[in-house]
Amino acid sequence: MKSKQKSLKIALLSLIGLGCFTPLFWLWLKYVEPYSTFRRREIKTMPLFDALNNSVLSEIPPPAGVTALPAQTQSVGLDGPHGFHGRTLRLVYGFGSLSSEDISAYYEMKLMSNGWAKYQGLVSRDEALYIRDTGCVGITLFEGELNGKPNEYSIGIWYDFLKQEFSPPLPDLSLLEFYDLLGTYIVKCPP
């Protein structure tokens, strides 16, 4: 009799455990695992995006006379806060003795001679955007001013996250937005 009661208790506890565990397992399979898999695959693309960005950087060395501001050079995305899907290389330079017109003309000549096209959707005298295939190079004259003129400029280099064959497919957008509490930003080119 005691053995039957013990078996019944074990069966009942097993059913209760299964009843509690099954919904949790289902939630994990439906919501946690797809995002975790995506993030693991996404992180693995970081060196590939960095290689693409650095190959573009090698095509456009800064003009003589400008000063690199290494403290402001950074690669952002993928390893930072959740919500930024893609990778951007950002460099900042001081003008030195060159004018903003000299800087703009130099990069336009360098980029156009390497097959980049000027993006016409951006209308600003302080910004220019160049596109080639799925890559973008943005040049912005900005920041500190000296005698009313900008004295620094930045270069941003990035590739469209969704158009790279090595990028993992996105999970369901509502799932992505759930995990990206501060908002979801997918790097695109053109923006």
- Whole-Å CA distances, 33 to 10, 53, 81, 168: 31, 30, 19, 14
Radius of gyration for the alpha carbons in the chain, expressed in angstroms and rounded = 25
Mean pLDDT of residues grouped by 10 in the chain (191 residues)? 67 61 59 82 93 95 86 72 83 84 92 94 82 95 59 91 93 81 84 79
* Consecutive H or E run containing 47: helix 46-59
**Global confidence as pTM:** 0.80
Which of 55, 101, 90 minimizes the C-alpha distance to 187? 90
Q: Where are the domains of the chain?
A: 1-44, 46-159
Nearest-5° Cα angle at 107, 149 to 128: 65
Nearest-5° Cα angle at 153, 152 to 154: 135
